[in-house]
Amino acid sequence: MIQNIEISKIHSHYDNPRKELGDLTELADSIKSNGIFQNLTVVPWFSKITGVGADNPKQQEEMGYIVVIGHRRLAAAKLAGLAEVPCAISNMSYRKQIATMLLENMQRNDLTVYEQAQGFQMMLDLGESINDISKDTGFSETTVRRRVKLLELDKEKFRQSVERGANLMEYAELEKIQDISLRNKVLDKIGTSNFKWELQNALNKEKNDKNEALIIAELEKFAKRIESGNGLQHIKSYYPSQNPEIATPDDTDTVEYFFQIQNYGAITLYKKDDNANQGASSQKDPVWLEKQRERDNRRAALDEISKRAYQLRGSFIKEISNAKAKKNMSVIIEYSLRAMLGDNCTPDAEEFAQFVNIEIKEDEENDLNFDNIKDQVVTQPERHLLTATYLILDSEREHYYDWNNHHDNNETLNTVYDFLEKLGYGISEEEQSLRDGTHKLLISLEE
| CATH classification at residue 61 | 3.90.1530.10
* Same-domain status, 253 and 323: no
Q: Are 275 and 269 in contact (CB under 8 A)?
A: no
**364-373 per-position pLDDT tens digit:** 555 556 666 6
Examine the pLDDT at 302 and tell me if it is beyond 50: yes
Q: Which of 249, 283, 317 is the endpoint of a domain?
A: 283
Classify residue 222: in a domain, yes or no: yes
**253-274 per-position pLDDT tens digit:** 999 999 999 888 889 999 987 6
* Same-domain status, 334 and 263: no
* Same-domain status, 326 and 408: yes
- How confident is the model at residue 289, as a pLDDT? 76
**433-442 per-position pLDDT tens digit:** 999 999 999 9
Q: Are 230 and 259 in contact (CB under 8 A)?
A: no
Q: What are phi and psi for residue 29, nearest 5 degrees?
A: -65, -40
**349-365 per-position pLDDT tens digit:** 677 777 877 766 665 55
* Same-domain status, 372 and 431: yes
Instruction: Quote the CA–CA distance of 186 and 201 in Å, as a whole number.
Output: 9
- How confident is the model at residue 342, as a pLDDT? 73
62: confidence class by pLDDT, cuts 50, 70, 90: confident
Classify residue 289: in a domain, yes or no: no
Instruction: Quote the CA–CA distance of 313 and 17 in Å, as a whole number.
Output: 39
Classify residue 341: in a domain, yes or no: yes
Q: Which of 223, 254, 283 is the endpoint of a domain?
A: 283
Residues above pLDDT 90, as percent of the chain: 45
Instruction: Quote the CA–CA distance of 392 and 394 in Å, as a whole number.
Output: 6
* Same-domain status, 263 and 329: no
Examine the pLDDT at 156 and tell me if it is beyond 80: yes
Residues above pLDDT 70, as percent of the chain: 92
Classify residue 223: in a domain, yes or no: yes
- How confident is the model at residue 34, as a pLDDT? 85
Instruction: Quote the CA–CA distance of 110 and 94 in Å, as a whole number.
Output: 21
* Same-domain status, 337 and 392: yes
**160-215 per-position pLDDT tens digit:** 898 888 888 888 899 899 999 999 999 999 988 899 999 999 999 999 999 999 99
Classify residue 262: in a domain, yes or no: yes
Mean pLDDT value across residues 363-391:
77
Our count of domains for the chain comes to: 3
Show the domain range for 77: 1-91
- How confident is the model at residue 259, as a pLDDT? 95
Mean pLDDT value across residues 367-383:
75
418: confidence class by pLDDT, cuts 50, 70, 90: very high
**Which residues are within 8 A (CB) of 87 and not within 5 positions of it... i.e. 6 or more apart?**
2, 3, 4, 5, 10, 39, 40, 41, 42, 65, 70
* Same-domain status, 349 and 409: yes
Classify residue 311: in a domain, yes or no: yes
Classify residue 186: in a domain, yes or no: no
Q: Are 264 and 297 in contact (CB under 8 A)?
A: yes
* Same-domain status, 312 and 427: yes
- How confident is the model at residue 200, as a pLDDT? 92
Examine the pLDDT at 140 and tell me if it is beyond 60: yes
CA distances (Å), 83 to each of 1, 35, 79, 80, in order?
A: 20, 11, 11, 9
Examine the pLDDT at 382 and tell me if it is beyond 90: yes
**Which residues are within 8 A (CB) of 97 and not within 5 positions of it... i.e. 6 or more apart?**
13, 15, 43, 68
Examine the pLDDT at 281 and tell me if it is beyond 50: no
- pTM for this entry: 0.67
DSSP type of residue 356: T
* Same-domain status, 322 and 235: no
Q: Which of 91, 126, 155 is the endpoint of a domain?
A: 91
- How confident is the model at residue 251, as a pLDDT? 92
344: confidence class by pLDDT, cuts 50, 70, 90: low
Examine the pLDDT at 133 and tell me if it is beyond 80: yes
Examine the pLDDT at 280 and tell me if it is beyond 50: no
* Same-domain status, 415 and 322: yes
Residues for the chain: how many in total? 447
Nearest to 137 by CA among 93, 112, 89, 102: 102
**Which residues are within 8 A (CB) of 401 and not within 5 positions of it... i.e. 6 or more apart?**
299, 302, 407, 408, 434, 442
Instruction: Quote the CA–CA distance of 428 and 310 in Å, as a whole number.
Output: 12
CA distances (Å), 287 to each of 52, 139, 290, 294, 403, in order?
A: 79, 64, 5, 11, 19
**Which residues are within 8 A (CB) of 297 and not within 5 positions of it... i.e. 6 or more apart?**
237, 262, 263, 264, 265, 266
Classify residue 309: in a domain, yes or no: yes
* Same-domain status, 279 and 333: no
- How confident is the model at residue 195, as a pLDDT? 93
* Whole-number average pLDDT of the chain: 86
Nearest to 98 by CA among 77, 114, 116: 116
